[in-house]
Structure 1
Amino acid sequence: MTTSHALFELDDLEPGTARKADIGGVKVAIVRIGDDVYAIGDTCTHADVSLSEGEVWCDELEIECPKHSSAFSLTTGEPQTLPATQPVPVYDATVIDGHVHVTITQEAVQ
């Protein structure tokens, strides 16, 4: 089962920035690049740190962990640099009528 969650207005998230959301117990980093939004797991797989507090690399479609600088792809969740070696989950993110929606599967909540 999948559920789409309306989180906030797109205009509430500046381009090139990230914001943390807790969706049914799943911590997600919502990233805006231009008018596109991406959603990935908010916790770095190397060190238990919030990715939403890291730097967004717009040209590379990556977010960098603020602790040890591992960069994660916003489209695949795969780490692009060490020390992280494990991916973070990615979720479907869309903008509908100006609102950011993220879809979380039931499996992700468990």
Structure 2
Amino acid sequence: MGPQSAAPPTRSRVANLDELKPDIPKVFEVEGEEVMVVRSGERVYAIANLCSHAEAYLDMGIFHADSLEIECPLHVGRFDVRTGAATVAPCVVPVRAYDVVVDGSEVLLAPMDAD
């Protein structure tokens, strides 16, 4: 018997694509956590909505479409919406990123692997 493969992640439906205005973050609840979702160009990105530095709500910050970063409204640190990585100090701890799939007009999310 070979090694068992991990079950595919469960995806949560969060929105219809037309609910997402270009470059305007919107918050949805996914399994009890607030998730910030933003549509930019032809892609949709999702990260945890709470800043890892000072617990501010990221959706209240400025979205920089040119660099795909969200700026925390409290101390102007930034996070990459593709990966959740902290990109500008004082933020250094990443936030959770979500794998986004657009199936027809439905936007589906699953947490990205931690490795």
Task: Using structure 1 for the length normalisation, give the TM-score.
Answer: 0.88
Alpha-carbon RMSD across the aligned residues, in angstroms, is: 1.6
Identify which of 39, 59, 68 aligns with 2:75. 68
Identify which of 78, 96, 99 aligns with 1:92. 99
1:35 aligns with 2:57: no
Contact between 1:32 and 1:38, CA under 8 Å: does it hold in 2?
yes
Matched residues in 1 for 2:89 and 2:67: separation?
A: 16
Specify which structure has the higher proportion of strand.
1
How far is the alpha carbon of 1:104 from its aligned partner? 3.5
In structure 1, list runs of 5 or more residues that go unmatched. none
- Structure of larger gyration radius: 2
Match of 2:110, SS? strand
2:111 alignment partner in structure 1: 104
In structure 2, list runs of 5 or more residues that go unmatched. 1-6
User: Size of the alignment, in residue pairs?
Assistant: 106
Q: 1:81 to 1:104 in 2, by over 3 A?
A: closer
1:22 aligns with 2:29: yes
1:49 alignment partner in structure 2: 56
Letter in 2 for 1:63: I
How far is the alpha carbon of 1:24 from its aligned partner? 1.0
% same residue: 35
Higher relative contact order (CA 8 A, sep 6+): 1
